Chains A and B, each alone.
Chain A
Amino acid sequence: MYPADYRYTKDHEWIKVQGDIGTIGITDYAQQELGDVVFVDLPKVGAKLAPGKSFGSVESVKAVSEIYSPVSGEVTETNPLLVDAPEKINTDPHHTAWLIKLKLSDPKEAASLMDAAAYEAYIAEQAKEHSA
C-alpha cells in the first residue's frame, strides 16, 4: 500500500526523491481522514519551501488540512490534474494525485524521515488511539 521508495511524515505527507527533484503528496491515510476532497490550494511555481512550513491545503466539505513541507526547496511544478479533478486525491493519492514537485536544497534531508514500514506502524498506533 505505501510505496517502499517513499519517505513519510507525521503529518501524513509523502515525498519521493529522484536526484535533486522531490515529489510531494498526501498519504492514503490522510485522504481517508479528510473524506471527499473538493479543492486543493497549491503554491505558485518558484515558491520557496522550508521544513515544517505550510505550503497549501486540501479541503473536503467540512474540513481543511494544511500541508506541510517535509524539506527545503523551490517549487518547480504543481499538479494541473488537481484543478479540475481534486477527487483524484481520494482515488490515487500516491501516484497520479501528487501535489507539487520541487528542486531540493538538500536531497539528503528526506532520508531522516520515516520509511514505509515505520509509517505503517505509526498509523496503526494512530488508529488505535482514535478508537480508544
Chain B
Amino acid sequence: MRYLPKSPSERQEMLAAIGTGSVDGLFTSIPEKFRLRAPLDLPGPLSESEIIQYFQARAAENARGYISFLGAGVYQHLRSVAADALIQRGEFLTSYTPYQAEFAQGTLTAIFEFQTLMCQITGQEVANASMYDGSTALTEAVLMAERLSNRRHVLVGRSVHPEYRQVLQTYAKNLGLEIEEIGYTASGQLDRAALTPETLARTAALVVQSPNFFGVLEEIPGLAEVAHASGALLVTAITEAVSLGIVRPPAEADIVAMEGQAFGIPPSYGGPYVGVIATREKFVRQMPGRLAGQTTDAAGNRGFVLTLATREQHIRREKATSNICTNEALYALAATIHLCLIGKEGLREQALQNLAKARFAQAELEKIPGVRRVFTGPTFNEFSLEFPRSVKMINAELLREKIIGPFALGKQYPELTKRAVICVTETTPRAEIERFAAAVRRILERPV
C-alpha cells in the first residue's frame, strides 16, 4: 500500500526485534471475542486515479457551471492562486499545533499576523487565532458575555442568521441561559423599541448581526449605547467579512464574532471555514481560543509563542473558557495570505464592486412588475425583495436555466413568505445579473 513505507521483510525484522512471531501477538490485550476475524465491509482499495474518478463523478452531480445568487452566510468571492499554493506547502499543511515554539515560528508568526489583521478589520483590540466558524464563534461570544457580566439572560435579534441562532439555542439550553428574541422594524433593523431598560438590566448580551440576515446594516454605536447604559454587553456577528472593506467596523461592540470565509475561502458545501472572536483587551482572559503572543528568547531575538494558555482546556480542564482545542488554523492562514494579497486598496475596491453590483441588480429587479424592496435600511451586497409569486416556484424555474436563485425567507420567517434575500458579489458578471433579471421577469409573466 503506497502510504505504508515498510517491506514485508522489514516487518519481520521488527517483529523479531520485539520478540513476537506475528503481528497478531501485538493485539493480545484486546479480548479475543472482540478481535475481528474478517476484513471490514468497506469500498476500495482504490488507486489514485480511481479516487480521482470517484470524486470527479460526484462533482458532475452538483451545480458546476451554475450561477448563484445565494449569500445567507456563505459568499462567492475572488480567491488567489498564490494563497492556495502557499497553504499547500507541506510545512504549513502537515505541521502540528505550535506548542513547541522553536520548531513552529512559521505558524506562530502567521497567527500573530492573523490576529493583527482581524483587529484592524473589526476595530477591536485583540483577536484570537480562530474558532470553528461564525456560528460557534457567536455562541462562544455569548458565553463569554455571560461570564463577564454574571447575567443569564440574552437578547438576540431575529435578524441574526437563523442557523447561528439555532446553534446558540443548542448550547444555551444546558447552561441555564435564557434566550429572548427581538424582532425587526420596517427598516429591517433590530426593533430598538423592544429594548426596555428593565430587560437590559438583567441582560448579559444584546446580540445583533451586521449586515444582518436580510442584508441590512445595523446601527452599532446606538445599540452599544443602549446596551451599556444598562450594563449589558453588545455582541456583533458578521457573516459577510468583505463588507468591512467599506462599512464602518463595529468598534463600539464589546465582542465581535466574525465568519472569515469571505476572505478567500471556498464555499465547499458548508466548511471548513474560519470563525474569529475579537474583543477589548480588558476582556482577553475570558476569551476562548488560542492566542499567539510576542516575546523574546535569551539572546533577545523576537519570537512568538502560544500564550495565556491558562484559559484553555488542557490546563483549566472543567473550568476552561471553552472546550476548543483544534480550531481552523490552516484557513486562518489562508485568510491572512488572502488579505495580504488583496491589501488595503484591494479590499476597499472589492467591497465597492460588491455594493455597486448589488445596487445595479436591485434596480434591475425592481423594474419587474410586482417586485418590491422589503426593507428601507441600508444594505451592502445582500438585499431583500418581495415577489408576486412563491419564491420556491420561481427558484425551481430558475434552476432549469442553471441559475441558483435567492434565499427564500418564508421557511425561517413565516411572516416573510414570497420574499427572498438576493446576494451579488464582485464575481457576478453584469451579463449574468441581466440574464437573472430577465429570467425572473419571464417566469413571473407566465400564466399561473
On A, residues with C-beta under 8 Å from B are 39, 41, 59, 61-64
B285 and A64 within 8 A (CB): no
Residues of B within 8 A of A41 (CB): 285
Any chain A CB within 8 A of the CB of B12? no
What does the 1/0 interface line of B272-294 toward A look like (CB < 8 Å)?
00000000000001000000000
Knowing that A59-B310, A62-B310 are A-B contacts, what are 11 other residue pairs whose CB atoms are under 8 Å apart, sorted by A's residue number?
A: A39-B310, A41-B285, A61-B309, A61-B310, A62-B309, A62-B315, A63-B310, A63-B315, A64-B315, A64-B316, A64-B319
- Enumerate chain B residues within 8 angstroms of A39, measured Cβ to Cβ: 285, 310
What are 8 A-B residue pairs whose CB atoms fall within 8 Å in the complex?
A: A41-B285, A59-B310, A61-B310, A62-B309, A63-B310, A64-B310, A64-B316, A64-B319
Bound state CA distance, A39 and B285, in angstroms?
10
A73 smallest CB distance to B (angstroms): 21
Bitwise interface map of B from 312 to 324 toward A, beta carbon under 8 Å scored 1, else 0: 0001100100000
Q: Is the interface of B mostly helix, strand, loop or mixed?
A: helix
DSSP class of A's interface residues: helix, strand, loop or mixed?
strand
Task: Note all chain A residues with C-beta closer than 8 A to B319.
Answer: 64
How many Å lie between the Cα of A87 and that of B319 in the bound state? 24
Which residue of chain B is the closest to A61 with respect to CB atoms? Answer: B309
| Chain A contacts for B309, CB-based, 8 A | 61-62
Chain A CB within 10 Å — which of B285, B310, B316 has the most?
Answer: B310
A-contact 0/1 string along B295-318, CB 8 Å cutoff: 000000000000001100001100
Total cross-chain contacts (CB, 8 A): 15
CB distance from A107 to the nearest CB of B (A): 31
Shortest distance from the beta carbon of B231 to any chain A beta carbon, whole Å: 14
Ranked nearest first, the 10 interchain pairs of A and B with the lowest CB-CB distance are A59-B310, A64-B310, A64-B316, A64-B315, A62-B315, A63-B315, A62-B309, A61-B309, A39-B285, A63-B310
Q: A62 to chain B: which residues have CB within 8 Å? A: 309-310, 315
Chain A positions within 8 Å of B285 at CB level: 39, 41
Residues of B within 8 A of A63 (CB): 310, 315
**374-402 of chain B: CB within 8 A of chain A:** none
Residues of chain A contacted by B316 (CB below 8 angstroms): 64
Min CB distance A45 to B, Å, is 16
Chain B proximity of A40: nearest CB distance (Å): 11
Q: How far is the CB of B309 from chain A (nearest CB, A)?
A: 7
- Give bound CA distance, A59 to B315, whole Å: 11
In the complex the two chains form, what is the Cα distance from A59 to B319 in whole Å?
A: 13
Tell me which residues across on chain A come within 8 A of B310, comparing CB atoms: 39, 59, 61-64
Q: Say how far A31's CB is from chain B's closest CB, in angstroms.
A: 16
Give A62 to B315 CA distance when docked, in angstroms.
Answer: 7
Query: What's the least CB distance linking B128 to chain A, in Å?
Result: 17
Query: What is the CA–CA distance of A64 and B309 in the complex, to the nearest angstrom?
Result: 10
A41 CA to B309 CA, complexed, in Å: 15
Q: Which of B298-357 contact A (CB under 8 A)?
A: 309-310, 315-316, 319
Which one of A39, A59, A62 has the highest number of Cβ atoms from chain B below 10 Å of its Cβ? A59
With both chains docked as a complex, state the minimum distance between the C-beta of A12 and any C-beta of chain B, in angstroms.
Answer: 18
Roughly how many angstroms separate A61 CA and B305 CA in the complex, as a whole number?
A: 11
Q: How far is the CB of B268 from chain A (nearest CB, A)?
A: 37
Q: How many Å lie between the Cα of A61 and that of B99 in the bound state?
A: 13
Q: How far is the CA of A78 from the CA of B148 in the complex (A)?
A: 19
* Bound CA–CA A39/B311 (angstroms): 12
A41 to B311, CA, bound (A): 12
* Shortest distance from the beta carbon of B130 to any chain A beta carbon, whole Å: 22
Name the residue on B nearest A64 (C-beta): B310
A63 vs B314: C-alpha distance when bound (angstroms): 10
Closest residue of B by beta carbon distance from A54: B319
Q: How many Å lie between the Cα of A39 and that of B307 in the bound state?
A: 12
Q: For residue A48, give the distance in angstroms from its CB to the closest CB of chain B.
A: 15
In angstroms, how far is the closest chain B Cβ from the Cβ of A34?
A: 11
Q: Which residues from chain B contact A61 at a C-beta distance below 8 Å?
A: 309-310
| Shortest CB distance B144–A (Å) | 16
Q: For the complex, give the distance between the alpha carbons of A61 and B309 in Å.
A: 7
Q: CB-nearest residue of chain A relative to B285?
A: A39
Q: Which residues of chain B from 254 to 272 have any CB-CB distance to chain A below 8 Å in the complex?
A: none
Residues of B within 8 A of A59 (CB): 310
A63 and B317 alpha carbons, distance in the complex (Å)? 11
B194 to chain A, nearest CB (A): 32
The CA of A64 and the CA of B315, in the complex, are separated in Å by 8
Nearest B residue to A60, CB-CB: B310
Closest residue on chain B to residue A59 by CB atoms: B310
Measured in the bound complex, the distance between the Cα atoms of B306 and A61 in whole Å is: 10
Q: How far is the CA of A41 from the CA of B319 in the complex (A)?
A: 14
